[in-house]
């Protein structure tokens, strides 16, 4: 993983985090926000490469994105769930919260591990307070 500023003992109020993620960034990026966040997540995946699933899970924790868990793996896809009190809070206050940054990062990371062109889509479950990510790769498009 690339160099990350060590800030383990610093705490940030979730309101500030939610304000930036769900209000400021969408206001700046406008209607293209979801796509830009996805491609920014992919760029972050290249900047902070993960070589294993364990490194991806650790990155999610360190970034404050939540607890990532692989729930199913098939021949050409992996299904993940991410949970955290912050995600549950974001979904309670904003049912349209975006998770493209995480989806893009996951796509780039899985692509680096599987060595096939990969895309990730997210599905929000507001009632459960979780986000499901489905990473699919194309075995005909080797990287």
pLDDT digit string (tens) for the chain, length 143 residues = 555 556 666 777 778 878 888 899 999 999 999 999 999 999 999 999 999 999 999 999 999 999 999 999 999 999 999 999 989 988 988 888 999 999 999 999 999 999 999 999 999 999 999 999 999 999 999 99
- Asked if 101 and 44 touch (Cβ cutoff 8 Å), the reply is yes
- Asked if 33 and 40 touch (Cβ cutoff 8 Å), the reply is no
54: enclosing H helix or E strand: helix 53-63
| Residue 61 included in any domain | yes
| Residue 7 included in any domain | no
| Residue 2 included in any domain | no
| Residue 40 included in any domain | yes
| Residue 80 included in any domain | yes
What order of strands is seen across the sheet that includes strand 67-73? 67-73, 77-83, 130-142, 116-125
Query: Could you list the residue range(s) of the whole structural domain that residue 57 is in?
Result: 14-142
| Residue 127 included in any domain | yes
Question: Residue 112: which CATH number?
Answer: 3.30.1380.20
**pTM of the complete model:** 0.90
| Residue 78 included in any domain | yes
Residue 76 dihedral angles phi and psi, to the nearest 5°: -130, 25
| Residue 3 included in any domain | no
> For the chain, how many structural domains are there in total?
1
Please state whether beta strands 67-73 and 77-83 pair in parallel, antiparallel, or not at all (unpaired). antiparallel
Dihedral sign for Cα atoms in the order 9, 85, 95, 60? positive
């Amino acid at each position: 993983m690339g160099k990350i500023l060590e800030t383990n003992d610093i705490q940030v109020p979730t309101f500030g985090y939610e304000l930036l993620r769900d209000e400021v960034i969408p206001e700046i990026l406008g209607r293209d926000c979801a796509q830009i966040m996805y491609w920014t997540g992919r760029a972050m995946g290249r900047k902070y490469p993960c070589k294993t699933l364990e490194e991806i899970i650790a990155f999610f924790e360190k970034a404050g994105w939540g607890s990532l868990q692989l729930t199913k793996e098939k021949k050409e896809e992996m299904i993940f769930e991410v949970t955290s009190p912050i995600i549950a809070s974001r979904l309670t206050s904003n049912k349209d919260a975006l998770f493209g940054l995480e989806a893009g990062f996951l796509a780039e990371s899985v692509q680096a591990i599987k060595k096939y062109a990969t895309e990730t889509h997210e599905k929000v479950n507001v009632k459960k307070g979780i986000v499901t990510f489905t990473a699919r790769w194309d075995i005909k498009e080797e990287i």
